[in-house]
């Protein structure tokens, strides 16, 4: 169990995330010795998110006003938000969904989704939430399928912030065709030798570990493409020969690096294999639905942050002797965007709860979880985009100015629309699995 701390009482009534009440307890589900009770409030008015900014600013040692400048500066410089990672690790947040016996909090993806939703909505946006994103979801397969000794060796130092991890799956010539990936892991005595290329690997510049999916049996030699893939949790030592990174310049979320990663006969110990050789794809699927929920929460936070900033501007900006928010041309698009966010929020937390419930309820099928989590990600991404775009337009010319931050939110909200699976592929999945339509790809 995480170390005991003074009772923390926080009631986030000014944030769109469901209210969270934290009080000390001896029951299961802790954040540094404190039990988290979750109360869902759908109709409460939440028009001010400054309390959340104050909380995160306090944790990071910066003031409320400075917090927005902090993220703007890091977006411009591309510098990783080390202060946020340190603050979250210090208070046990990194391990929110990992087992208590390893130093985690023993909570679920529902609570992890709330956490990333809250970080994003605070103004940190996708950059803030993505800075710890992989540490939350990529470790789920490790926690479930690694041996007890592997878990003890691999996870506690991630939870306390000593290590940081990245997730190595996507390849430049496969994209969504994960089963066609060709990065090889060839057994050589007590080692595997890794050769191949990964792309769009977030936080690789600061990561010391990687959850890696690679082929231990060539694609041409397996009966089914899902066979022959293996999962590893490796040291990501950039000083060793055979490992090279190339940073990708990107549109938004620049505080979190994205990279091409090249392996050229990079040696890893054989005992970094998670589960059985050739079963990696089945194992990694355990984390993919969780990621959909987390990303949906991050998108929601971004949409609410933009919407609140736009509505505050509309109250204060006076044109022709009246606030522009009195005009239905401003008011209605923002109100509609809010309703879309609220609907997507319901879908998101339903999916997260279903995912968590499935760990103890075998009647919940993987297809049901997949449909719920993918649908939530789709709806949240679309709602966030609508909110961010309308927020920029509501500010007019100032929406294009960096000092009002909504342009940063708009740039960042493309991420959940594109990754880790496109809108079109989600519709393909729902069409096939729910509507029974012929597979279209």
Tens digits of residue pLDDT in 219-231? 999 999 999 999 9
Residue 80 in this model has a pLDDT that exceeds 60: yes
- In this structure, of 117-126, 310-319, 382-391, 393-402, the range with the lowest mean pLDDT score is 117-126
Mean model confidence pLDDT for the chain: 87
Query: Given pLDDT bands bounded at 50, 70 and 90, which one contains residue 176?
Result: confident
Residue 216 in this model has a pLDDT that exceeds 80: yes
Q: What is the mean pLDDT of residues 365-384?
A: 98
Query: Given pLDDT bands bounded at 50, 70 and 90, which one contains residue 59?
Result: low
Q: What is the mean pLDDT of residues 278-290?
A: 93
Nearest to 262 by CA among 280, 238, 244: 244
Quote the CA–CA distance of 47 and 131 in Å, as a whole number: 26
* Chain centre distance of CA 347: 17
Query: Nearest 5 degrees, angle CA 89-CA 36-CA 114?
Result: 65
The encoded tokens of residue 122 equal 């605070």
Percent of residues, the chain, with pLDDT higher than 90 = 78
Predicted local confidence at residue 4, as pLDDT: 28
Percent of residues, the chain, with pLDDT higher than 70 = 85
Predicted local confidence at residue 38, as pLDDT: 34
Predicted local confidence at residue 14, as pLDDT: 42
Query: Exposed e or buried b for every residue in 269-279, given b needs 16+ CB within 10 A?
Result: eeebbbbebbb
Query: Given pLDDT bands bounded at 50, 70 and 90, which one contains residue 122?
Result: confident
Beta-strand ranges (E) seen in 9-71 are 20-24, 30-31, 34-38
Q: What is the mean pLDDT of residues 336-344?
A: 99
Query: Given pLDDT bands bounded at 50, 70 and 90, which one contains residue 63?
Result: low
* Domains with residue ranges and CATH for the chain: 20-145 (1.10.540), 165-280 (2.40.110.10), 282-433 (1.20.140.10)
Residue 218 in this model has a pLDDT that exceeds 90: yes
The encoded tokens of residue 319 equal 């044109």
Quote the CA–CA distance of 123 and 311 in Å, as a whole number: 15
Quote the CA–CA distance of 297 and 119 in Å, as a whole number: 10
Predicted local confidence at residue 19, as pLDDT: 39
The encoded tokens of residue 301 equal 């936070």
Predicted local confidence at residue 177, as pLDDT: 87
Query: Given pLDDT bands bounded at 50, 70 and 90, which one contains residue 160?
Result: very high
Predicted local confidence at residue 88, as pLDDT: 86
- In this structure, of 6-15, 118-127, 214-223, the range with the lowest mean pLDDT score is 6-15
Predicted local confidence at residue 403, as pLDDT: 94
Residue 76 in this model has a pLDDT that exceeds 90: yes
Return the biggest CA–CA distance within the chain.
79
pLDDT digits (tens, 9 = 90+) for 258-283: 999 999 999 999 999 999 999 999 99
DSSP state of 404: G
End-to-end CA distance of the chain: 46
Give 58's contacts (C-beta < 8 A, 6+ positions apart): none
Question: Are 39 and 19 contacting, i.e. CB atoms less than 8 angstroms apart?
Answer: yes
The encoded tokens of residue 327 equal 């005009």
Residues found in the chain: 441
The encoded tokens of residue 3 equal 């170390």
Query: Given pLDDT bands bounded at 50, 70 and 90, which one contains residue 433?
Result: very high
Three-class DSSP category at 232: strand
Predicted local confidence at residue 90, as pLDDT: 84
Question: Are 294 and 117 contacting, i.e. CB atoms less than 8 angstroms apart?
Answer: no
Query: Given pLDDT bands bounded at 50, 70 and 90, which one contains residue 200?
Result: very high
Query: Given pLDDT bands bounded at 50, 70 and 90, which one contains residue 398?
Result: very high
Question: Are 131 and 84 contacting, i.e. CB atoms less than 8 angstroms apart?
Answer: yes
Residue 225: exposed, middle, or buried by beta-carbon count in 10 A (0-12, 13-18, 19+)? middle
Strands 229-235 and 258-269: unpaired
Query: Given pLDDT bands bounded at 50, 70 and 90, which one contains residue 175?
Result: confident
Predicted local confidence at residue 57, as pLDDT: 56
């Amino acid at each position: 169990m995480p170390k005991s701390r003074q009772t923390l009482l926080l009631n986030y009534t000014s944030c769109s995330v469901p209210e969270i009440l934290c009080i000390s307890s001896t029951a299961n589900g802790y954040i540094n010795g404190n039990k988290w009770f979750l109360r869902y409030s759908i109709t409460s008015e939440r028009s001010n998110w400054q309390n959340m900014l104050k909380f995160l600013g306090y944790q990071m040692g910066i003031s409320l006003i400075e917090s927005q400048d902090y993220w703007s500066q890091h977006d411009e410089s591309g510098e990783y938000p080390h202060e946020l990672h340190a603050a979250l690790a210090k208070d046990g947040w990194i391990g929110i969904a990992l087992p208590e016996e390893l130093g985690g909090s023993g909570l679920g993806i529902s609570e992890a989704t709330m956490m990333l939703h809250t970080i994003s909505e605070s103004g940190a946006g996708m950059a803030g939430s993505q800075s710890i994103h992989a540490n939350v979801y990529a470790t789920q397969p490790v926690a479930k399928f690694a041996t007890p000794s592997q878990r003890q060796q691999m996870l506690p130092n991630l939870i306390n912030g000593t290590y940081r991890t990245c997730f190595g799956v996507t390849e430049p010539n496969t994209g969504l065709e994960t089963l066609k990936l060709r990065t090889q892991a060839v057994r050589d005595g007590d080692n595997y030798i890794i050769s191949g290329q990964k792309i769009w690997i977030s936080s690789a510049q600061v990561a010391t570990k990687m959850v890696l999916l690679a082929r231990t049996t060539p694609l041409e030699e397996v009966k089914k493409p899902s066979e022959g893939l293996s999962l590893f949790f490796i040291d990501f030592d950039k000083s060793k020969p055979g490992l090279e990174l190339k940073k990708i310049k990107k549109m938004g979320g620049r505080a979190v690096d994205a990279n091409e990663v090249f392996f050229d006969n990079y040696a890893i110990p054989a005992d970094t294999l998670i589960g059985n050789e050739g079963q990696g794809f089945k194992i990694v699927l355990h984390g993919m639905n969780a990621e959909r929920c987390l990303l949906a929460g991050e998108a929601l936070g971004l949409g609410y942050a933009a919407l609140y900033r736009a509505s505050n501007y509309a109250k204060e900006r006076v044109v022709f002797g009246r606030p522009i928010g009195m005009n239905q041309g401003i008011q209605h698009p923002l109100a509609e965007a809010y309703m879309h966010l609220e609907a997507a929020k319901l879908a998101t937390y339903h999916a997260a709860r279903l995912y968590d419930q499935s760990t103890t309820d075998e009647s919940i099928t993987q297809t049901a979880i997949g449909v719920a989590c993918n649908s939530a990600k789709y709806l949240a991404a679309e709602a966030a985009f609508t909110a961010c775009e309308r927020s920029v337009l509501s500010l007019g010319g100032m929406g294009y100015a960096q000092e009002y931050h909504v342009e940063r939110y708009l740039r960042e909200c493309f991420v959940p629309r594109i990754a880790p699976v496109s809108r079109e592929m989600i519709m393909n999945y729902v069409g096939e699995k729910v509507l029974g339509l012929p597979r279209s790809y």
